[in-house]
Amino acid sequence: MSEHIDIAVNLIGSALEKNCDEVIQRAVAHGVSPLIVIGSDLNESQQAITLCQQYPKTLYSTAGTHPHQASQWDDTSADKIRVLAQAAEVVAIGECGLDYNRDFSPRAKQREAFRAQLALAVELKLPVLMHERDAHEDFLAILKEYRSGLTNALLHCFTGNRESMEAYLELDLHLGITGWVCDERRGLELAELVRDIPDDRILIETDSPYLLPRSMRPKPKSSKNEPQYLPYIAQYIATLREQNPTEFAAKTYQNSVKFFGL
């Protein structure tokens, strides 16, 4: 029986794609289903939809353009996402947002693509799945312009500070928490903050194949993260929040169902 929903899995264009059937089967065996497959650009979004069609009600997808790929954005991109979003498997627009940490795309182009996808989410009445890294001020300013029209908004893989967390919660965002919180080097601040995220605003994810929880013992032989490890992350977070793990799992499951309209 499914106990968890992994709200961000990079099955396409990653180290998991080659063996995605086995990854999905292992996830289901560990009570993790359905999985939300991330679309990071238009081609990847189409591939994600095609994959989801092979696993009905086990996989769902997003459709969008990640800030890393924002340089690909042009006058036809919004129309192409609009078409992709008609697929029954698409449950959110994204992954979209701003990333000033790596700057793989010019910042002006990132902002253009982000605005356009927020507008699209408003138009289509779909939730939006967002990414923000080292771009809090611009991200928040742009998001405020569209937030009132958005049905639901999720900042996935949240790793910010208390100030940014409070600003996002004030805008009624959902926050996705990953195995970053299990990292004794980088995750200490998040481990403190995660206690203060309201019960109805927290979602859990692996962001696999990235962010394998460092605290897992024994450590998986592979360095790749997988959805099958989400129960470990959930229990770790529940312990930090001093909540019953079963009750926490049930709450985050229902939060995910409600957010994505599953």
C-beta separation of 61 from 37 below 8 A: yes
| Cα separation, 34 vs 37, whole angstroms | 9
Q: What is the pLDDT of residue 2?
A: 74
Residue-wise pLDDT for 128-163, tens only, equals 999 999 999 999 999 999 999 999 999 999 999 999
Domain boundaries, the chain: 4-260
| Cα separation, 7 vs 40, whole angstroms | 14
Task: Specify the pTM.
Answer: 0.96
Quick one: pLDDT band at residue 1, thresholds 50, 70, 90?
A: low
Q: What is the pLDDT of residue 19?
A: 94
In the 8-state DSSP scheme, what is residue 243? -
Residue-wise pLDDT for 237-262, tens only, equals 999 999 999 999 999 999 999 999 99
What residues have CB less than 8 Å from 234, skipping those under 6 apart?
Answer: 4, 204, 245, 248, 249, 252
- For 151-201, the DSSP string reads S-EEE-S----HHHHHHHHHTT-EEEE-GGGG-TTT-HHHHHHGGGS-TTT
- 29 burial type by CB count under 10 A (0-12 exposed, 13-18 middle, 19+ buried): exposed
**Phi, psi angles (nearest 5°) of residue 173:** -80, 155
What percentage of the chain has pLDDT greater than the value 90? 91
| Cα separation, 219 vs 14, whole angstroms | 21
Q: What is the pLDDT of residue 84?
A: 98
What percentage of the chain has pLDDT greater than the value 70? 100
Residue-wise pLDDT for 62-116, tens only, equals 999 999 999 999 999 999 999 999 999 999 999 999 999 988 999 999 999 999 9
What residues have CB less than 8 Å from 83, skipping those under 6 apart?
Answer: none
For 8-37, what is the mean pLDDT?
Answer: 95
**Phi, psi angles (nearest 5°) of residue 148:** -65, -25
How many Å is the maximal CA-CA distance in the chain? 49
**Ligand-binding site membership of 131 (annotated):** yes
Question: Which of 90, 114, 87 lies closest to 37 in space, CA to CA?
Answer: 90
**Ligand-binding site membership of 207 (annotated):** yes
For 4-260, give the CATH class: alpha beta
Residue-wise pLDDT for 188-229, tens only, equals 999 999 999 999 999 999 999 999 999 888 888 888 999 999
